[in-house]
Amino acid sequence: MKKIAILGSTGSIGTQTLDVVRHNDNLQVLAISAGSNIKVLEAQAREFSPKMIAVWQEDKAAELRVMLADMDVKIVSGMEGLLELAVLENVEILVTAIVGMIGIQPTIAAIKAGKHIALANKETLVTAGHIIMPLAKEHHVDILPVDSEHSAIFQALHGEKDNKIEKLLITASGGPFRGRTKEQLADVRKEDALKHPNWAMGQKITIDSATLVNKGLEVMEAKWLFGVDLDRIQVVVQPQSIIHSMVQFEDGSVMAQLGTPDMRLPIQYALYYPNRRYLGGERLDFGKLAQITFENPDMDTFKGLPMAMQAARIGGSMPTVFNAANEKAVAKFLNNEIRFLDIYEMIGEAMAMHQCVENPTVEEILRTEEEVYQWIESRW
């Protein structure tokens, strides 16, 4: 039995992780967690019998204790609860399917406790990669990518240990607004931004895909995961989302991973690495597929990508500013408080006012996050 815990079990990645568990008889879920959706947590608890459940909101945790009074399960809450879940005894792999920088502290706690990390929560690596990667090495812990692009690269690198990477080619669908001009983006509504052409995902990452912020976060994520410099990471738009990313080696050979867009594949690969197992679902039909096309990203219109590259080049606490400003901006856009293009404005202004801290500690990262939030609240 492989024992896992899930941070964010009610979301898109969390529920798909549970689906992988459902179809494999040697995975056991020891802990689940969510922000506030206790109805879904109750159903998950009854199906998977975890030993611990973490609920962010204490009042919801109290309600869940009543709902699950007939079960032998410990229900914890707040950051303390997430930290307790992260180090739970006997858990081998922690799936970080939580959204946002809130994942930093639990991920660090889990690594220190020797848990392998199946990492979906890219915001954590973007802001604290300089702490997490060396810490994982020190504790002999694997950081197993769940993000489809990074899983593709991870798969393409299998057996290539000593071979030199010339370039990472991260593919992007281009999102729902690919091909539009700035003028055409001025009045787009959240309902339009939430219609991703190929993937069904949580709201935050879906907006990030529309702004290309997601691709920017993924470039930073790739830099940390694979130790490749920014100038050797290229984003290629591949609108059908069939090629999930590629690695170019020093002999010019390019290895790609292809498949239908289904996150259960990278989730399952992370949980069973380096082994593959049967996974049901649609297969690529090259006869029907007809074409796979490529184009360069439109960096002038979709500034999320160039701004992320700029933040990454500056380094230190700047990726935290980029990420925190984006998290706040996306929340405001989803709340109909700002317009689509204001997301870029907010990130740009937050980056411009920031005094960069080199090599920030976790405390400095969290303080920077808080400062950015406060600044945005006072300014917008």
| Residues near ligand NAD (CB under 6 A) | 8-14, 33-35, 37, 56, 97-99, 102, 120-123, 147, 199, 201-202, 204-205, 263
DSSP state of 355: -
Q: Please, which residue, 196 or 303, has the CB nearer to ligand NAD?
A: 196
Q: How far is the CB of 39 from ligand NAD (least distance, A)?
A: 12
Which region, judged by CB under 5 A, interacts with Mg ion, from 91-99, 147-155, 273-281, 362-370?
147-155
Give the residue with the Cβ less far from ligand NAD, 125 or 376.
125
Least distance in angstroms from the C-beta of 358 to ligand NAD:
25
Residue with tokens 């399952």: 268
Best CA proximity match to 222, nearest among 312, 138, 300: 312
Cβ nearer to Mg ion, comparing 208 with 371: 208
Q: Which is nearer to ligand NAD, 199 or 373 (CB)?
A: 199
Decide: residue 222, CB within 10 A, 0-12 exposed, 13-18 middle, 19+ buried: buried
**Among residues 148 and 238, whose Cβ is nearest to Mg ion?**
148
Least distance to Mg ion, CB of residue 328, Å: 21
Q: Is the dihedral of CA 151, 152, 158, 160 positive or negative?
A: negative
Per CB under 5 A, 123 contacts Mg ion: no
In terms of Cα–Cα distance, which of 229, 239, 237, 224 is closest to 305?
237
Find residue 165's DSSP bridge partners: 249
DSSP 39-89: HHHHHHHHHH--SEEEESSHHHHHHHHHHTTTS--EEEEHHHHHHHHHT-T
The minimum distance between CB 149 and Mg ion, in angstroms, equals 5
Task: Closer to ligand NAD by CB, 6 or 318: give it.
Answer: 6
Q: Which residues pair with 236 in a beta bridge?
A: 171
- Closest contact distance (angstroms) between CB of 37 and ligand NAD is 6
Structure tokens belonging to residue 287: 């006869």
Tokens of 143: 């950081």
Q: Which does 13 bind (CB under 5 to 8 A by kind): ligand NAD, Mg ion, none?
A: ligand NAD
Distances (CA, A) of 379 to 158, 350, 376: 48, 10, 5
Count of residues making up the chain: 380
Token pair for 302: 């979709």
* Partner from ligand NAD, Mg ion, none contacting 127, C-beta within 5 to 8 A by type: none
* Of residues 64 and 308, the one with the C-beta less far from Mg ion: 308
Shortest distance, CB of residue 183 to ligand NAD, whole angstroms?
29
In the complex, the smallest distance separating the C-beta of residue 16 from ligand NAD, rounded to whole angstroms, is 8
Measured CA to CA, the distance from residue 27 to residue 30 in angstroms comes to 10
* 76 CB neighbour count, 10 Å cutoff: 19
Residue 147 near Mg ion by CB under 5 A? yes
- Nearest 5°: phi and psi at 147? -55, 135
CB of 235 vs Mg ion, minimal distance in Å: 11
Q: Which does 297 bind (CB under 5 to 8 A by kind): ligand NAD, Mg ion, none?
A: none
Phi first, then psi: give them for residue 136, nearest 5 degrees. Answer: -65, -40
Q: Which stretch binds Mg ion (CB under 5 A): 123-131, 146-154, 280-288, 298-306?
A: 146-154
Contact between 123 and 101 under an 8 Å Cβ cutoff? The reply is yes
The interface partner of residue 10, options being ligand NAD, Mg ion, none and the CB cut-off 5 to 8 Å by kind, is ligand NAD
Interface contacts to Mg ion, rule CB under 5 A: 147-149
